Amino acid sequence: MSERWARTFLTAYRFAGAAAYPLIGPYVAWRTSRGKEDRIRRRERYGIAGRERPDGPVIWIHAASVGETIAVVPLVESILDYGVNIVLTTGTVTSAQVADERLGDRIIHQYVPLDLKPAVSRFLDHWRPDLAIIAESEIWPMTILELGARRVPQVLVNGRLSDRSFKSWKKRANIAEALFENLAHVVAQSDVDGERFLSLGARPVTVSGNLKVDTTPPPADERTLYTLKRQLGARPTWAAISTHDGEEVVAAEVHAMLHKRHHGLLTIVVPRHPDRAEALAAQISGMGLKVARRSKGDRITADTDILLGDTMGEMGLYLRLTEIAFVGRSLTSEGGQNPLEPAMLDTAVLAGRNVQNFRETYQRLLDSGGAKLVRDRDMLAGAVNFLLSNEVARHEMMAAGAATVDEMRGALALTLKSLEPYIQPLVVKSRLKGANGR
């Protein structure tokens, strides 16, 4: 595909919409049918604002879901200290709740518009952002093109390209280059990510590390934590968190293999998608195990085998109930989930071998002894058994993980340094407007 053809294609896409781009049309349809929307605020998906635009400069920051939202909270707070207005968009109800809990009315929250020209244009016409900051891997052609046409600087922060995404873009290298040249700066998570963005045509690219390292550990309600710890007593525990299809059954099988060896063992299973809880509870109960569901307020009794953590926003609670955590989407699925939260909370981290999406983080934890990878159910059972049986080894692993997280901090400062040339003019503009208004 020639560069000229790629630019012609993207120009056609800009005016024709998602139907002109086969990778995006199905994605837009998928997004609108996921059932993760706030029906009352559905109009925001079509770029119809739910709030008035404030006076002065506005920075638009976008974080797709819960993980990205938590990652950008310290960045948002740092920018707010400059006195510049922020419109924060997210894509799910749960991420909107996180934004409200952690940032409140200090920012304006909106649901992100669909990547269709009418929706994006309405959004930009209303908010008129002076700068757009996009988190992680949200590469939306229509949004990027419209911002580029309006000469709004776009900075991708905490940038990440998975193996799959990189291969997909490499097949369309000319389209990627024609898109990525609209980005004023890419701040990548790792050297590998930085090299990938460079190879796709992004300029300039700097590496900051992972913003998620500079976040605070997930919180827990103290009263609820106290109640659950009283119900647990001195029972040994381990957790399987952020699990995907098949991994919950593996966790239940590991429990069945170990519960006689470790009297009173409780296994905590926290599925990545709690809407699967009904089926999971039935499936695990069918294995002869007693399940207590957190969402139903079930009490943990002496004969409870599995605590099913089928709630949102309580990962901090579950991790504080154990010292061993298997992190899912790594054994029966691929890509992995973020191991930073359990490591922050002094938890020995276990995972399957399919952790490509968090390769550098896992490598750091593996090198320090803060994490261990397992190849299958039996190896997972062996690792959990070893850690339950060896307090010294378990605590050494927990300490190594926490120390590694501390060593990895610093991404926020590096990101702010990269953003400074774009933010400082807005700070001056905001102060001048304030002085003139008095």
Q: How many residues in the chain?
A: 438
Whether pLDDT at 438 is above 90: no
The Cα angle at residue 368 between residues 265 and 251, in degrees rounded to 5: 25
Query: Are 432 and 425 in contact, with CB atoms under 8 Å apart?
Result: no
Distance CA 283, CA 301 (A): 20
Give me the pLDDT at residue 170, please: 94
Give me the pLDDT at residue 24, please: 44
Q: How confident is the model at residue 416 (pLDDT cuts 50, 70, 90)?
A: very high
Mean pLDDT of the chain: 92
- DSSP secondary structure code for residue 172 in this structure: T
Query: Are 176 and 148 in contact, with CB atoms under 8 Å apart?
Result: no
Q: How confident is the model at residue 329 (pLDDT cuts 50, 70, 90)?
A: very high
Q: Which two three-digit tokens encode residue 64?
A: 């797709």
Give me the pLDDT at residue 35, please: 45
Rg, Å, the chain Cα set: 23
Whether pLDDT at 434 is above 70: no
Residues of the chain with CATH 3.40.50.2000: 222-408
Whether pLDDT at 137 is above 90: no
Give me the pLDDT at residue 36, please: 55
Give me the pLDDT at residue 21, please: 43
Q: Which helix (DSSP H) or strand (DSSP E) does residue 242 occupy? A: strand 237-243
| Options 37, 68, 138, 314, the catalytic residue | 68
- 58-83, pLDDT tens digit by residue? 999 999 999 999 999 999 999 999 99
Whether pLDDT at 23 is above 80: no
Q: How confident is the model at residue 432 (pLDDT cuts 50, 70, 90)?
A: confident
295 Rama sector, left if φ>0, alpha if ψ -120 to 50, beta otherwise = alpha
Whether pLDDT at 30 is above 50: no
68 classed as catalytic: yes
Summarize the confidence of residues 8-25 as an average pLDDT.
Answer: 51
Whether pLDDT at 18 is above 50: no
Which ranges of 297-376 does DSSP label H, i.e. alpha helix?
315-319, 340-344, 359-368
Give percent of the chain above pLDDT 70.
90
Global pTM reads 0.89
- 201-255, pLDDT tens digit by residue? 999 999 999 999 999 999 999 999 999 999 999 999 999 999 999 999 999 999 9
- 300-311, pLDDT tens digit by residue? 999 999 999 999
Q: Which two three-digit tokens encode residue 428?
A: 């001056």
Q: How confident is the model at residue 11 (pLDDT cuts 50, 70, 90)?
A: low
Q: How confident is the model at residue 430 (pLDDT cuts 50, 70, 90)?
A: confident
Q: Exposure pattern of 267-277 as b/e (b: 16+ CB <10 Å)?
A: bbbbbbebebb
Give me the pLDDT at residue 2, please: 58
Tell me if residue 139 falls in helix, strand or coil.
Answer: coil
- 165-193, pLDDT tens digit by residue? 999 999 999 999 999 999 999 999 999 99
Summarize the confidence of residues 266-277 as an average pLDDT.
Answer: 96
Residue listed under structure tokens 């700066």: 185
Q: Is domain 36-214+410-426 annotated with CATH 3.30.9.10? A: no
- Close Cβ partners of 236 (under 8 Å, ≥ 6 residues apart): 262, 263, 264, 265, 266, 388
Tally DSSP H helices, then E strands, for the chain: 18, 14
Which ranges of 297-347 does DSSP label H, i.e. alpha helix?
315-319, 340-344
Give me the pLDDT at residue 7, please: 61
Give me the pLDDT at residue 22, please: 40
Distance CA 105, CA 101 (A): 10
As assigned by CATH, the class of the 222-408 domain is: alpha beta
Residues of the chain with CATH 3.40.50.11720: 36-214+410-426
Kindly tell me the burial class for residue 286, based on how many C-beta atoms sit within 10 Å of its own C-beta (0-12, 13-18, 19 or more).
exposed
Whether pLDDT at 433 is above 80: no
